[in-house]
Structure 1
């Protein structure tokens, strides 16, 4: 993929500009980024994706229609919204532009759309719909997550995990989440043997860092929680992260996500230079969240009726508008919810727990009947 720009170098477009592009996907789209200059044609669309082929892609290829749609739905269910437009734009090229790149709804370069753009030098590209065909598509979606989760632009950890150790665990989780056990096992075996030369020689990022965190501390939940903490605590300028993170901060934020101090695991996986100790201690002071496990998901909020649209699973706690935003929930955007046994949620019409209220102690597939469609601006989740 194309290299991501360092965090501090991004310029924030107005969110209003991004919203202006939330429209029906056009029948054709003129590429105008990097060396790309193709007019691509929409071959499929649904509520979650718009698929585009260049002229050389075989029109009998249909696996992206359902697969990319399923990946994007799962991504929104796990990490919540990525702007106001629901669809991911997926562009496929044959016999050109080998590799891939992402773009997000923050980026003018791709008309403020969430985009994955993948290509191959092969004249028979994308015909199998297996193996690497799936891997590269899913990999590019991983970059959208790291670059635009929770309504904040940029990836502060990109300079540390590169292109992209994050995608390794993301791909594994997506395959599991979609019930693609054979692909999950295939990917697991590939990643268990993968090594890198950063931050030191013979580093096993997946085997020694991400997979133990994923397996021991909550699966998809711990991955999402990392981005929640970033959005809540890491320095921002407007809707942009304003700088990259150092190694001590990286370990601190993943410790917060996992609910345990991961210094020992980090030392085993990466080493522990003296500089990291200084950074780690400072990170604990600068970002004073604890390593206590926040507990199970008590309430899940959904954008649409019948538990559709993006989703956000919340543990017990008090959520004003700023906190909801960090969890990926937009203001006045909730239409259904699920409540785990033994819990309740009190919705407030205004920020900071003010205004009209609605209490729910069980699942509700539509808040419309209660007059609460797209009304909640803050809420409290507690034991019932």
Structure 2
């Protein structure tokens, strides 16, 4: 499974955690029929997971499943993840036929781990779902919020506007987009104190891609988010990709046929913002002639992505 470093701010300390996340299982099972109550149990059949999960809560926005080790007195997920998914649908649109997010929670196993599934994927029975683990789910803060929200973000990126795939992953990894996504979700589900933790942490967060000491949140995503419409600009990026980027049909709609080039990435974000973001990209990542040519090519190849240039 792929690993990445995920940092949180807790009790004033910066804690580094390794999160095994966002891998895909090839185990397949038949498609489900949507409508009515979600099933009372769900047998895991992905990766090394083999628990018979029990449904503990559901409403119009989520179906919540616990393994046998989960403390049934932990009830805050009943409302919190329903809010997360309701906000995701309001902001980014529908994801297949199911209105619900299926949330799987493990305690004392898979600690700090998580992965998603979408309605495109047989591996998780064609459900929009997240599967997460923690040593202790008592408190709704820090990674107990951020990791599950992060995993919902992969559904947003990988099953958006009827198209399967995330052609941006080659640019932002796993995933710098999640930093602004988590921040925005926390603000909009009424957790500004948790959003402030993310914001403050990101001021000293550096990555070595696409160039050395890149600050994705501070110098790229947050300026775009703050100046050009907040969640609306995030959503528009995915809309523009779905309308313009190469794709082919599949059994459930469409899927992207290739990854983005860096200049194309800047072009589509410029279209979402309505301004040429080359200058912002230069601040965030530097600039080079290869990216310049890719941007010029993107402007020719995708003329329906509009902004002044």
Does the 8 Å CA contact 1:48/1:72 hold for their aligned counterparts?
yes
Distance 1:134 1:284, change over 3 A: same
Query: Is 2:46 aligned against 1:33?
Result: yes
Report SS of the residue matched to 1:133.
Answer: helix
Correspondence for 2:92 among 79, 103, 108:
79
TM-superposed deviation, 1:249: 0.6
Tell me which residue corresponds to 2:21. 2
Tell me which residue corresponds to 1:112. 126
1:19 and 1:27 map into 2 onto residues whose CA distance is 14
Moved more, 158-167 or 282-291: 282-291
Does the 8 Å CA contact 1:23/1:85 hold for their aligned counterparts?
no
**Larger Rg: 1 or 2?**
1
TM-superposed deviation, 1:21: 4.6
TM-superposed deviation, 1:177: 1.5
2:294 and 2:34 map into 1 onto residues whose CA distance is 41
Distance 1:132 1:117, change over 3 A: same
Report SS of the residue matched to 2:159.
Answer: helix
TM-superposed deviation, 1:284: 0.6
Correspondence for 1:64 among 73, 77, 84:
77
2:153 and 2:230 map into 1 onto residues whose CA distance is 15
Q: What TM-score does the superposition give when structure 2 sets the normalisation length?
A: 0.87
1:280 and 1:23 map into 2 onto residues whose CA distance is 48
- The number of aligned residues is 281
1:258 and 1:291 map into 2 onto residues whose CA distance is 9
Query: Is 2:236 aligned against 1:236?
Result: no
TM-superposed deviation, 1:24: 2.7
Query: Is 2:57 aligned against 1:44?
Result: yes
Query: Is 2:216 aligned against 1:205?
Result: yes
Query: Is 2:262 aligned against 1:247?
Result: yes
Tell me which residue corresponds to 1:258. 273
TM-superposed deviation, 1:18: 5.5
2:301 and 2:32 map into 1 onto residues whose CA distance is 34
TM-superposed deviation, 1:58: 0.7
Tell me which residue corresponds to 1:159. 170
Within-5 A mapping of 1:138-217? 138-217=149-228
2:265 and 2:42 map into 1 onto residues whose CA distance is 39
Does the 8 Å CA contact 1:29/1:40 hold for their aligned counterparts?
yes
In structure 1, the gaps of 5 or more residues are 294-384
Tell me which residue corresponds to 1:334. none
Tell me which residue corresponds to 2:304. 289
In structure 2, the gaps of 5 or more residues are 1-19
* CA RMSD after TM alignment: 1.8
2:245 and 2:121 map into 1 onto residues whose CA distance is 21
1:19 and 1:57 map into 2 onto residues whose CA distance is 26
Report SS of the residue matched to 1:20.
Answer: coil
2:231 and 2:174 map into 1 onto residues whose CA distance is 20
Does the 8 Å CA contact 1:248/1:279 hold for their aligned counterparts?
yes
Structure 1 segments, 4+ long, off by >4 Å, are none
TM-superposed deviation, 1:94: 1.1
Moved more, 176-185 or 107-116: 176-185
